[in-house]
């Protein structure tokens, strides 16, 4: 009887197993989609073997992402022609709307096949488009991209942006990222102003593409600018987070009279900036415009200030650095990279650091200072002494010393330790 009971129990279990529903096949469509969009295209295609309901489900996904993760295995070793053919086959299999498209491959070069991809996405309701060219010459965007009026997010790298006549902009755009994109100044300004819903703007430019930059975006929440713009005019909402990095080279020719006058427009835009990066050339422009004692406006929003290639042997540069600090009552982070020139004057501005002349200066928010290539000249030492004496909540001042000689480094360290500090918590650290 025990054997019979055992056999019956086994049969019962087998019947229960046969009646167990196929959980994978019966997942809701929205759950299937969420699973598939987390996979690479290759892995998504492999799910076709799971069940009849999963078969070719990947071809209806609303997004296609061709990035370096896509190029793996045999694909990564393929020629450009084979790679383009692979991408084209994926597009041929796709069915239904395509809301998001990404093409960003480390070896991607400008080629005619990209025109066909853009034509395809333009006919399928694209809303998020990302195209990053990493090799060779910039890719000239075809006219079909400018017909994608449903675009909400656009990210381009190394492209030529030249819209056809009559283009009125992407009126639904909320995010725009342009990196090393060749675009005319007036076209960029018109594009930004036409995007009334724009909330996020990120621009990165080379010295050959843009000189003047005008930004009017009342709904902007985040703005990041990096490049060699010689003139900037920014009009955004007061609550926008604005980061500006204007970098040049000490080897370039000096600014002409017109460029010097343009820096006045930059000064007018600075009050909205929270994170600011400048190099010596812009400080020279401001000095040439007659900046004296303080900037023409208070930089109440400025939280972080980085100054690159600053020569402490040049009076105009150092005095302008002081004016920035004096005009930034809420400054918390200060980063200065020193530049040393054999032709610079010797300690010409020591008198600028007289503490009596700084009685009205308030750096009560400054808590971190980083200085690079410190050589220990008298000017540098007086500048650092001033910061220590005027920073009551300073926590860390880190310096990278230029000299590799042990004796010289010890001399600099010993002199620093004797400086009076307004903050009892201030710690000075050093690195090579």
Q: List, as one string, the DSSP characters of 77-134.
A: GS-HHHHHHHHHHHHHH--S---EEEEE-TT-B--THHHHHHHHHHTTT--EEEEE--
Task: Give the tens place of pLDDT for each residue, 13-27.
Answer: 444 444 445 555 555
How far is 240 from 219, CA to CA, in rounded Å? 8
For residue 142, the 8-state DSSP code is P
pTM (two decimals): 0.74
Task: Give the tens place of pLDDT for each residue, 163-188.
Answer: 999 899 999 999 999 999 999 888 99
How far is 310 from 416, CA to CA, in rounded Å? 21
Segment-wise mean pLDDT, segments of 10 residues, the chain, 432 residues: 48 48 56 56 52 56 78 54 76 78 86 90 92 92 95 96 93 95 90 93 73 83 83 78 72 45 56 84 68 69 89 78 86 88 52 58 87 85 87 92 82 84 89 76
């Amino acid at each position: 009887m025990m054997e019979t009971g055992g056999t019956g129990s086994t049969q019962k279990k087998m019947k229960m197993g046969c009646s167990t529903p196929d959980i994978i096949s019966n997942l809701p469509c929205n759950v299937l989609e969420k699973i598939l969009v987390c996979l690479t295209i290759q892995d998504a295609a492999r799910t076709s073997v799971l069940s009849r309901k999963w078969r070719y489900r990947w071809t209806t996904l609303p997004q296609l992402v061709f990035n370096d993760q896509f190029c793996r295995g045999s694909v990564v070793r393929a020629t450009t022609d084979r790679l383009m053919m692979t991408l084209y086959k994926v597009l041929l299999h796709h069915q239904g709307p395509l809301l998001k498209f990404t093409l960003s491959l480390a070896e991607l070069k400008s080629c005619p096949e990209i025109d066909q991809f853009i034509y395809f996405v333009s006919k399928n309701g694209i809303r998020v488009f990302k195209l990053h060219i990493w090799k060779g010459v910039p890719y000239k965007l075809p006219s079909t991209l400018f017909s994608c009026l449903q675009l909400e997010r656009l990210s381009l790298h190394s492209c030529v942006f030249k819209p056809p006549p009559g283009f009125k902009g992407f009126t639904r755009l909320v995010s725009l990222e342009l990196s090393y994109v060749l675009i005319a100044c007036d076209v960029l300004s018109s594009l930004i102003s036409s995007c009334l819903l724009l909330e996020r703007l990120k621009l990165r430019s080379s010295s050959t593409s843009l000189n003047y930059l005008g930004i009017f975006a009342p709904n902007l929440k985040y703005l990041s600018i990096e490049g060699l713009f010689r003139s900037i005019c920014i009009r955004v909402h007061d609550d926008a987070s604005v980061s500006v990095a204007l970098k040049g080279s000490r080897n370039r020719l000096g600014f002409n009279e017109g460029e010097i006058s343009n820096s006045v427009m930059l000064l007018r835009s600075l009050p909205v900036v929270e994170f600011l990066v400048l190099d010596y050339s812009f400080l020279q422009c401001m000095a040439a415009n007659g900046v004296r004692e303080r900037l023409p406006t208070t930089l109440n929003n400025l939280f972080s200030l980085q100054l690159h290639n600053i020569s402490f042997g040049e009076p105009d540069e150092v005095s302008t650095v002081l004016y920035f600090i004096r005009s930034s009552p809420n400054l918390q982070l200060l980063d200065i990279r020193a530049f040393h020139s054999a032709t610079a004057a010797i300690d010409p501005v020591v008198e600028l650091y007289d503490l009596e002349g700084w009685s009205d200066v308030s750096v009560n928010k400054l808590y971190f200072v980083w200085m690079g290539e410190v050589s220990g000249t008298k000017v540098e030492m007086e500048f650092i002494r001033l910061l220590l004496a005027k920073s009551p909540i300073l926590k860390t001042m880190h310096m990278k010393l230029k000299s590799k000689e042990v004796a010289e480094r010890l001399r600099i360290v010993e002199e620093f330790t004797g400086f009076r500090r307004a903050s009892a918590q201030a710690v000075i650290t050093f690195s090579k």
